Amino acid sequence: MPLLDAPLDSVDAYVEFLSAQNVPVLRHTVREFATLEGQENSVSGKRIAAVVISDPLMTMKLLTTLQARRTSVQNHDITTIDRAIMMMGITPFFATFAAMPTLEDTLHAHPKALVGALRIIGRARRAAHYARDWAILRHDLDVDEVTIAALLLDAVEIMCWTFAPALTLRVYEIQRANRWRRSADAQREVFGCTAQDIQIGLIRAWKLPELLIMLMDEAQAGSPRVRNVQLAAGFARHLASGWDNEALPDDIAAIEKLVHLNREQLIARLGVPPEDSYRFFSPAT
Residue 12 lies inside a defined structural domain of this protein: no
Check whether residue 158 and residue 254 sit in a common domain.
yes
Residue 15 located in a structural domain: no
> Which one of 103, 130, 160 terminates a domain?
103
In a domain, 9, yes or no: no
Range from 99-103, 136-140, 180-184, 276-280 carrying the lowest mean pLDDT: 180-184
Instruction: Judge whether residue 285 has pLDDT over 70.
Output: no
pLDDT of res. 204: 84
Within this chain, do residues 36 and 160 fall inside the same structural domain, yes or no?
Answer: no
How many domains would you assign to the chain?
A: 2
Residue 75 has pLDDT above 60, yes or no: no
- Do 137 and 268 belong to one domain? yes
Q: Which of 49, 82, 103 is the last residue of a domain?
A: 103
Residue 63: name the closest of 228, 196, 202, 160 by CA.
202
Instruction: Record the pTM.
Output: 0.92
Q: What's the confidence (pLDDT) of residue 1? A: 67
Average pLDDT of the residues in 63-86: 78
pLDDT recorded at residue 78: 78
Mean pLDDT of the region 39-57: 93
Q: Do residue 70 and residue 111 come from a single domain?
A: no
Q: Kindly state whether residues 94 and 199 are assigned to the same domain.
A: no
Phi then psi for residue 113, to 5 deg, are -65, -40
Average of per-residue pLDDT across 13-25: 94
Q: Are residues 169 and 51 in the same domain?
A: no
Q: What percent of the chain has pLDDT over 70?
A: 96
Residue 165 lies in a domain: yes
pLDDT at 203 over 90: no
In a domain, 34, yes or no: yes
Across the range 113-119, mean pLDDT stands at 97
Residues 86 and 134 in one domain: no
Whether residue 164 is predicted with pLDDT greater than 70 in this model: the reply is yes
Is residue 43 a contact partner of residue 36, using CB atoms and an 8 Å limit? yes
Comparing 40 with 241, the larger pLDDT belongs to 241
Q: Which residue has the higher pLDDT, 88 or 258?
A: 258
Residue finishing a domain among 71, 103, 135? 103
Give yes or no: residues 73 and 189 share one domain.
Answer: no
Same structural domain for residues 60 and 128?
no
Nearest CA to 62 out of 75, 49, 74, 71 is that of: 49
Question: Using CA atoms, how far apart are residues 115 and 26, in angstroms rounded to an integer?
Answer: 13
**Cα–Cα distance, 283 to 194 (Å, whole number):** 40
Confidence label for 71 from pLDDT (cuts 50, 70 and 90): low
264 and 130 in a common domain = yes
Q: Is residue 59 part of a domain?
A: yes
Residues 119 and 228 in one domain: yes
Domain limits at 143? 107-280
Q: What is the mean pLDDT of the chain?
A: 91
Is 18 domain-assigned? no
Closest alpha carbon to 53 in 43, 68, 63:
63
pLDDT at 73 over 80: no
33 contacts 94 by C-beta, under 8 angstroms: yes
Q: Degrees (nearest 5) of the Cα angle 10, 165, 127?
A: 90
- DSSP secondary structure letter of residue 280: G
Q: Is 186 exposed, middle or buried (0-12, 13-18, 19+ CB in 10 A)?
A: buried
Pair (222, 244) in one structural domain: yes
What integer pLDDT is reported at residue 138 of this predicted model? Answer: 96
- Measure the CA–CA gap between 215 and 227, rounded to whole angstroms: 8
Residue 152 resides in a domain = yes
pLDDT at 283: 58
